[in-house]
Amino acid sequence: MKELEELRFQLHEANETIEAIRTGQVDALVVQGQDGHQVYTLKSADQTYRVFIEKMTEGAVTLNQQGLILYCNSQFAFMAGLPLSQVIGISFEKFIIADDLSLYEESFRKCWEQDCKVELMLKTREGKAPVQLSLTTLELQEGRALSIIVTDLTAQKKTQQQLRENNIQLEEINHALELSNHDLQQFASIASHDLQEPLRKIHMFSNLLKANSKVLSQDLQTYLQKIIDSSVRMRTLIVDILNYSKLSANDHVMDCIDLKEIVNELIEDFELMIEEKKARVIVGDLPSIDANKGQIRQVFQNIISNALKFARADVAPVIEIKSRRVNKKTFNSADDADGPYWFISIKDNGIGFDEKHVQNIFSLFERLNSKDKYEGTGIGLAIAKKIIEKHNGIITAVSKPGKGAEFQMILPVTQNM
């Protein structure tokens, strides 16, 4: 009993000593051996390093030249799932899974010549885990030893695997999307081309009938005109759908274009309508931006034509087009002479609309007004929105019924951002 008590005391003392070393409170030990008292200083490092090694998230192990573990930090013992006492003194290769033993042995041979790293599977408390071993030789007074830093790669491998899976999934989705995009464009193109031929026939034969319509009653002549008007309208619809579907293709060239020039060209195109409606178009300073000329022209054309179309019956249309340079891609962005965006506004004094419809007017086929009163297909603003978005810009409208409408766009100065 007394002996047992003695041993228990020694164990307690030893544990305390180890704890003291571990927490960095001890720099040297005096041990009573066969040759009297001996002083052991802790050469491995000063206190900072010992604390550092103990606290780090990697496992740290020191081996002798036979591969026996002389020292390990508690992180490694935690990884192995064993108390420290059962790790010290045993061969490190006991922790390597059988399949990777030869890999480890090869590195163990080489590392005495040159530092090396190896990835293999370690036996752990959870079975096994992928780790990276960084092997470095240490020149100690007692001879050479080997330091191994054990980095757990479980999370990294898992992330990599996840990334690979996500990439594969993304590729599949991309592929499917490309196919459906292609199908859609094919469909739009074929439908539009093939729809146009019979439509043109309807138009042609109706025109032939009309040329001889004197024999027809007034009613029949009206019906005939309705057939012609409808076929013209359908033709416009088909052309607009086709143009809209073409916007999905990503092959549009961007150049530096002068918006002022485009607007002036459009004013010339609209000359007749402007004269007829006694409209006034006030063009302020407009910038040059990186854009596809044909497409941006289309945007301005659609909005200006709307402004002329949706004029109030009793008031001559006034359209104001102006711009200012801003620093953010928001409609309330502050002015900034060197900002990366242009705020462009096209404002009219027409019939306007209720702002709760603002999202609708940019959707395909959405009309707020009856087609009897105002001609059009309801595609114009959808096309405008798609083009602006393709130019990395945004578009909105502010309006009140009877108070005119203002179309606002934010477009980047350059496209290579």
Residue numbers at the binding site for other proteins (CB under 8 A): 192-193, 196-197, 200-201, 203-204, 207, 211, 239, 242
In a 3-state reduction of DSSP, which class is residue 37? strand
Min dist CB 313 to other proteins, Å, is 31
Kindly tell me which of 249 and 282 has the beta carbon lying closer to other proteins: 249
Pairing of strands 36-41, 28-33: antiparallel
How far, in Å, CA of 24 to CA of 22, rounded?
5
Kindly tell me which of 134 and 196 has the beta carbon lying closer to other proteins: 196
Min dist CB 269 to other proteins, Å, is 19
CA distances 170 to 42, 160, 162, 243, Å, are: 55, 15, 12, 29
Min dist CB 199 to other proteins, Å, is 8
Kindly tell me which of 246 and 403 has the beta carbon lying closer to other proteins: 246
Min dist CB 262 to other proteins, Å, is 18
Min dist CB 336 to other proteins, Å, is 38
Min dist CB 359 to other proteins, Å, is 31
Dihedrals φ, ψ of 320, to 5°? -115, 125
CB 363 within 8 A of CB 244: no
Classify the phi-psi angles of 348: left when phi > 0, otherwise alpha if psi is within -120 to 50, otherwise beta. Answer: beta
Kindly tell me which of 197 and 314 has the beta carbon lying closer to other proteins: 197
Beta-bridged to residue 39, according to DSSP, are: 30
Min dist CB 197 to other proteins, Å, is 5
Q: Give ∠ CA 130-133-138 in degrees, rounded to 5.
A: 165
Kindly tell me which of 99 and 375 has the beta carbon lying closer to other proteins: 375
Kindly tell me which of 35 and 197 has the beta carbon lying closer to other proteins: 197
Kindly tell me which of 196 and 396 has the beta carbon lying closer to other proteins: 196
* Residue that the structure tokens 């603002």 belong to: 358
How far, in Å, CA of 299 to CA of 382, rounded?
10
Min dist CB 192 to other proteins, Å, is 7
Beta-bridged to residue 281, according to DSSP, are: 319
Is the C-alpha dihedral spanning 196, 246, 364, 317 positive or negative? negative
How far, in Å, CA of 372 to CA of 375, rounded?
7
Kindly tell me which of 203 and 385 has the beta carbon lying closer to other proteins: 203
Concatenated DSSP letters of 353-417: --GGGTTGGGSTT--SS-TTTS---S-HHHHHHHHHHHTT-EEEEEE-TTS-EEEEEEEES-S--
Is the C-alpha dihedral spanning 329, 331, 334, 336 positive or negative? positive
Kindly tell me which of 43 and 200 has the beta carbon lying closer to other proteins: 200
Min dist CB 242 to other proteins, Å, is 8
